[in-house]
Amino acid sequence: MKGFRFAIGLITVFLLFYILKLGKDLLLPFVYALFIWYLVNILTYAFSTIRYRSFKIPRAICFIFSVATILGIGGLVVQIISTNISNIASGSVIYREKVGAIVSRLFTLANVEEPESLSTLLQDLDLSRMMSEVALGLTSIAGSTGLILIYLMFLFLEQKSFSNKLQNLSRNPEQLENIRRIIKKIQSDVRLYLGIKTFTSALTGILSYVIMVGINLEFASFWAMLIFLLNYIPSIGSILATIFPSLLALMQFDLTAPFFVVAIGITSLQFLIGNFLEPRLMGNSLNLSPLVILLSLTFWGTMWGIPGAFLCVPFMVILMIVLSHFEATQPIAVMMSRGGNVTKS
C-alpha cells in the first residue's frame, strides 16, 4: 500500500513538473499578475500605516497611490533598459575586439601562450545577442500585457470575497484558524523578504551608480538598473551584476585606474551589503537553507528562465511554510530549513 502511494505521489510530481514546463506561456502571465497584485497590496498596506495625528489616508487613495507607484517604477525601468539596449548592442563588436586585445596583451606580458579555447570564447562573446534576448524578454512581457491586466482585474475582484470563502472553507474553528495562520505567516515572510531585498538591491544600485558616474562609465543608469534587478536572483545575480559593468569598464578604460575603481568598488558593495547588511536585516526570518535556495534557483531557472530565477525564493518560502504545518510533510520542511528549526506561527 505504501509503495502504491509513493508511486502515485511520484507520478503526480512528474505530471506537475510537466504541466509547469508545458504551460509556461499561459502560467507566466498569471504569475506576473499575481506578483503585481501582491505588490499593490503591500504598498496599499504601507501607505495605510502613514498617519498624522488622527488623520490617515483612505484605503481607496492608498490603492491609487500604490498602482501609480508601480506603474511609474515599471515605466522607468522599461525606459532605461530600452533606451540603452540598442546603444550597447551597436558597440558590441568594438567592445569584443577591445577585450580580445587586452587579454592577448596580458598573456604576452606573462609570456604564456593564449589558449585557443579562450580565443574562441571571446569570439563568441556577443553583447548584441545578449541585448537582443533582453529586448525579446521585454517584448514578450509587453505582448502579455492584455492577459496580465485581465488576470489582475479578476484577482482584485476575487480579493473582496476571499474572506467569506475562507470563512466557509471549513466549519472546524481549529482548522480554520490553522489556515488563517498559514496565510498570515506566508504574507508576513514574503512581505519581509521583498521589502528587505528591494531596499538592499536599491541601495546597491544607487551606490554603484555613484561609483560609475564618478568615473564617467558609459550607460551608468542602465548598469545601475541591471544591478538592482539582478540582485533579486540569489547568488548568481550578484555575481553577474558585478561582472557586466566591470567588463564594460575594462572595454572603455583598459587596465587603468577607472576599471579597478568599478571592479573593486562594486564587488566590495556586493560583498558588504550581501554578507553583512542583508543577513542582519533578515535575521532568522528567512529560514531557508542556502543549498535549497541554490537548488530552487536551478530548478525554476530551468523551468521558467529568468522569471523563475526571480521568483524562486518566494516560491520556496511559501512551500516551506505550508509543509511545516502538516505532520506528514514537516520532516521535508525541516530539511529545507537553515538550522533544522521550523516554527508554525
For 176-221, what is each residue's pLDDT tens digit? 777 788 788 777 777 778 888 888 989 999 999 999 999 898 888 8
Write out pLDDT tens, residues 3-54: 666 677 677 777 877 777 777 777 888 888 888 888 888 888 888 888 877 7
Helix runs in 91-144, H state only: 92-109, 116-124, 127-143
pLDDT-above-70 percentage for the chain: 77
**Whole-number Å distance between alpha carbons of 212 and 215:** 6
pLDDT at residue 204 in the model: 93
C-alpha cell at 219: 550607460
Cβ atoms 119, 100 nearer than 8 A: yes
Q: Is the confidence at residue 274, as pLDDT, over 60?
A: yes
- Give the dihedral sign, CA 81/82/87/89: positive
Q: Is the pLDDT of residue 72 over 70?
A: yes
What residues does each domain of the chain span? Answer: 26-168
pLDDT (0 to 100) of residue 95 = 64
> d(Cα 30, Cα 104) in Å, to the nearest integer?
48
Candidate from 96-100, 133-137, 311-315 with smallest mean pLDDT:
133-137
* Sign of the alpha-carbon dihedral angle for 129, 130, 136, 138: negative
Q: What is the mean pLDDT of residues 310-339?
A: 79
How many helical (H) and strand (E) elements, i.e. helices and strands, does the chain have?
A: 14, 2
Mean pLDDT across the chain? 77
**Spatial CB neighbours of 54, under 8 Å, sequence gap ≥ 6:** none
